[in-house]
Structure 1
Amino acid sequence: MPAQNPSAPEPSGYLRLFTVREFRAVFLAHALSLLGVVVSEVALTVLVYGLTGSPLLSALTFALGMLPYLVGGTLLSGIADRYPPRRVLVLCDMVCAGCAALMTLPATPVFALLALRCAIALVSPVFQGTRMATLTDILGDGDLFILGRSLLRIVSQSSVLVGFGLGGVLLTVVSPRGALLITVCTFAASALLLRCGTRRRPARGGGGSALMKYSLSGVGQVLGDRRIRALLLLLWAPPMFMVAPEALAAPYADQIGVGVAGVGLLMCALPVGTIAAELYAGSVLSATSRARVALPLASVTLLPLTVYVVTPGLMWAMLALVLAGAGSAYTLGVDRWFVDAVPEELRGRAMTVHTAGLMTIQGAGMALAGLAAEFFAVSTVVTAAGALGTLCCLALAAEVRATRRTADGRPADLREQGTESRDGADHHVTGG
């Protein structure tokens, strides 16, 4: 038997994920569907404005990408557990491809374009919740899953930085309806990758009750459990307040007199901080270290926003936003606790509720920030968001800490250490 080459170390950090064949398919499908979403948002906004000349209807195409999440995440969440996950993922992608295909037809009127945009947003939380629950089957529910979830989140954040710019360039070459054809292709390619690149797995549960009853029952179970509820709220609260400086980037740039270029820089700062911190935490910190810093980071991640009280210039405001984004690395530790707290048969619905709640609460945060800015200076609104958000996060961190004892009375961090010691074996089986 040939000796192993000692100069070829085992992949570590995020690189370990790509040794798992099914994850490679999921990752590529995620990147393709993100490309489709970004292209469709830019193209549809331009198309609706060109057909109507209405800034309100043009802006509404973005809002309709968020509003249906609450409905889909509550009334349809049971789909994630009731049906085989691969079937759900492929069907969701095909529904989105079909909706995008109808958008490309010249005869499709504006109201139908907006309705189709709603339909895509309606199935999105089901798709995302099912995909995250399936990741636990592919990667196990240990540290490798947390890294996989983190990497998909990093790709999503990166799309914010480059996606809209690429979409704008694309529209200089093709028409909006032509660009939507690219969306059709990306969703179809994603469906094909998931169909051929992942294994068929049975449904987690489902029973015989009606879908809506089953879905609402799952939502009740998720929100009715004190530990799960506390973790969900801690995952939702910082993003709700953190969208304030992004939503108000244009008026703040006007307030400090930095022009249109300043708007783009302010909107990029948060994602840059988030991506850099998650890459560092996932690549350098151990699972135990990420768990140890999770609550302190969550407690202070919004604190840098309070620097807006002195109406900082562009560079200082960008630094504050980068630091606030960096605090989002707390999610790697909290994600682990969340997966540990959710029973297997509830996992699909719990992930769907998490996705729907996150999108809905960010939309609410944007709306509230905009409303407050009608009456107060933007700097005052962002400062208040940082201060109030920090108080909320401190309270939620205390609640999470209060629920950290397991059913047998042992501290939860002892259980986590035990789980971490088993990760190596789990990863070996999964990777094989």
Structure 2
Amino acid sequence: MSAPALQRPAGYGRVLAVPEFRAVFAAHVLSMLGVIVSEIALSVLVYDLTGSPLLSALTFALGFLPYLVGGTLLAPVADRFPARRVLVVCDLVCAGCVAVMAVPGTGIGVLLALRCALAVVSPVFAGTRMATLSDILGGGDLFVLGRSLLRIVAQSALLVGYGLGGLLLAVLTPRHALLITVATFLASAALLRLGTRRRPARARALDREHGGTRQLLADRRIRLLLLLFWVPAMFAVVPEALAAPYADALGTGSPGLGLLMCALPVGTVAGELYAGARLGPAARERIALPLICLTLLPYLGYAFHPSLALSLLLLLAAGAGSAYTLGLDQWFVRAVPEELRGRAMTVLSAGLMTLQGVGMTLAGLAAEAVGVRATVAGAGVVGAVCCCGLAAAARRSSRPVP
């Protein structure tokens, strides 16, 4: 391929033209909407049964915490078995868990345990799916754009799913709403089973149960790339975690809260769409490290008591900065050996969700001590310093950054 061709973006249209990717994409849309509806329905169900705000909130927290378990103990599964089988089994396990949740009389302990089970399975599914994308689309620009499209779906599902969940609960009971999630998981399993072809397992030796994960984490360039994914995301979630008390402080009520919750995802989708559609692979790599250093700086504006409109602009700008992920994706897929790609993506997904959960928890603790505005501004300062340090380390290394 000529050098000019390498510089041009492949375009999202070429990705969607691949039949197998369309099946994965449709399955992802269904499962994301189903997960969001189930989170809302389960939170309402737990609150109805207990009257406890703490237990209701815990149902959301349990979506983050067990990711670490699934991402470490079950990471080898992504490479040791055929990817299509892993994906379909994960969907069926999730459908079974949610079906039990929907059974009348299921107790609180069982509901929370099943919520944990979903979170344990999720990183294996996410990692296997991302590794499958590299088989379907190759390891080049099409893979990066395919991964970008799945992230865009995830962010868009947050905007659509919460509204859809609220409408469903206006006409259905929480347990009946959970049945919709069962249907989306089963439909996702069917799409993946019928729409993708069988490929052999990636792992070359059955006795490498944990060696592959150790091999990944022993590689300095892979560790650095993982941190470049994880650390900005840990600080980026702080305004989202504190959106409710911040909206209360602004006196904007529920409409303001809704806008604050939407601003960051909207900025993220806009940034990814622009970088994916208008920039070529080389340009995405050039802007990745500068964007990592800049993406959290808009949070400093919270220190100046901005209005709701200005706060929304700050969040939009921060979200748009997350376009750095396309460049990181290109480096990551080149850095990881093909036979370890499934567990690498699983570890990446598990660490991302776990550290976002940690970031939300620390944000709450800090806000109790110094207030919401100071916490968000502090996250901008500390996060930017950490990101600049990682970017400098990446710049010094000739391996992660070509």
- The TM-score bracket by the shorter chain reads over 0.9
Q: Say whether 1:319 aligns with 2:313.
A: yes
Residue 178 of structure 2: aligned partner: 180
How far off is 1:267 after superposition? 1.2
Code of the residue aligned with 2:112 in structure 1: it is L
Q: Say whether 1:214 aligns with 2:209.
A: yes
Equivalent pair of 2:284/2:324 in contact (CA under 8 Å)? yes
Aligned match for 2:112, one of 108, 111, 114: 114
Gaps of 5+ in 1: 1-10, 407-411, 414-432
Q: State the distance in 2 between where 1:293 and 1:135 align.
A: 24
Work out the number of aligned pairs and report it: 394
Q: Say whether 1:330 aligns with 2:324.
A: yes
Q: Say whether 1:159 aligns with 2:167.
A: no
How far off is 1:206 after superposition? 5.5
The equivalences for 1:294-305 within 5 A come to 294-305=288-299
Equivalent pair of 2:221/2:399 in contact (CA under 8 Å)? no
Code of the residue aligned with 2:330 in structure 1: it is R
Code of the residue aligned with 1:115 in structure 2: it is A
Cα distance per residue 1:125-155 (max 9 Å; x no partner): 0000000001000000000000000000000
Moved over 6 A (4+): none
How far off is 1:316 after superposition? 0.9
Equivalent pair of 1:157/1:275 in contact (CA under 8 Å)? yes
Q: State the distance in 2 between where 1:364 and 1:84 align.
A: 33
Q: State the distance in 1 between where 2:195 and 2:252 align.
A: 48
Residue 4 of structure 2: aligned partner: none
Q: State the distance in 1 between where 2:23 and 2:139 align.
A: 19
Q: Indicate how the Cα distance of structure 1 residues 248 and 198 shifts in structure 2: closer, same or farther if over 3 A, else same.
A: same
Q: Say whether 1:361 aligns with 2:355.
A: yes
Residue 243 of structure 1: aligned partner: 237
Residue 347 of structure 1: aligned partner: 341
Q: State the distance in 2 between where 1:302 and 1:54 align.
A: 34
TM-score normalised by structure 2 residue count: 0.96
How far off is 1:161 after superposition? 1.1
Q: State the distance in 2 between where 1:283 and 1:95 align.
A: 36
How far off is 1:377 after superposition? 1.7
Cα distance per residue 1:229-269 (max 9 Å; x no partner): 11110111111101111111111122232222211111111
The equivalences for 1:394-413 within 5 A come to 394-405=388-399, 413=402
Cα distance per residue 1:383-425 (max 9 Å; x no partner): 110011000111111111222348xxxxx53xxxxxxxxxxxx
Residue 198 of structure 1: aligned partner: 196
Residue 6 of structure 1: aligned partner: none
Aligned match for 1:62, one of 60, 63, 68: 60
Aligned match for 1:270, one of 264, 267, 276: 264
Equivalent pair of 1:78/1:206 in contact (CA under 8 Å)? no
Code of the residue aligned with 1:80 in structure 2: it is A
Q: State the distance in 2 between where 1:253 and 1:297 align.
A: 28
Equivalent pair of 1:206/1:214 in contact (CA under 8 Å)? no
Q: Say whether 1:254 aligns with 2:248.
A: yes
How far off is 1:272 after superposition? 0.8
Query: What percentage of residue pairs aligned between the two structures are identical?
Result: 67
Q: State the distance in 2 between where 1:400 and 1:286 align.
A: 21
SS in 1 for 2:237: helix
How far off is 1:219 after superposition? 2.9
Residue 425 of structure 1: aligned partner: none
Aligned match for 1:285, one of 266, 276, 279: 279
Residue 375 of structure 1: aligned partner: 369
The equivalences for 1:35-74 within 5 A come to 35-74=33-72
Equivalent pair of 1:65/1:121 in contact (CA under 8 Å)? yes
Q: State the distance in 1 between where 2:30 and 2:205 align.
A: 34
Q: State the distance in 2 between where 1:286 and 1:150 align.
A: 14
Q: Say whether 1:125 aligns with 2:123.
A: yes
Aligned match for 2:78, one of 80, 91, 108: 80
Residue 390 of structure 1: aligned partner: 384
Code of the residue aligned with 1:271 in structure 2: it is P
How far off is 1:93 after superposition? 0.3
Residue 229 of structure 1: aligned partner: 223
How far off is 1:107 after superposition? 2.7
Cα distance per residue 1:196-240 (max 9 Å; x no partner): 10010000116333xxx724x333222221111111101111111
SS in 2 for 1:373: helix
SS in 2 for 1:172: helix
SS in 2 for 1:214: coil
Q: State the distance in 2 between where 1:383 and 1:219 align.
A: 36
Q: State the distance in 2 between where 1:206 and 1:313 align.
A: 57
Code of the residue aligned with 1:280 in structure 2: it is Y
Q: State the distance in 1 between where 2:206 and 2:145 align.
A: 35
**Higher radius of gyration, 1 or 2:** 1
Code of the residue aligned with 1:15 in structure 2: it is G
Equivalent pair of 2:240/2:260 in contact (CA under 8 Å)? yes
How far off is 1:375 after superposition? 0.7
Code of the residue aligned with 1:295 in structure 2: it is L
Q: State the distance in 1 between where 2:215 and 2:396 align.
A: 20
How far off is 1:369 after superposition? 0.4
Q: How large is the RMSD of aligned CA atoms in angstroms? A: 1.3
Q: State the distance in 2 between where 1:324 and 1:223 align.
A: 29
Q: State the distance in 1 between where 2:257 and 2:195 align.
A: 41
Equivalent pair of 2:80/2:206 in contact (CA under 8 Å)? no
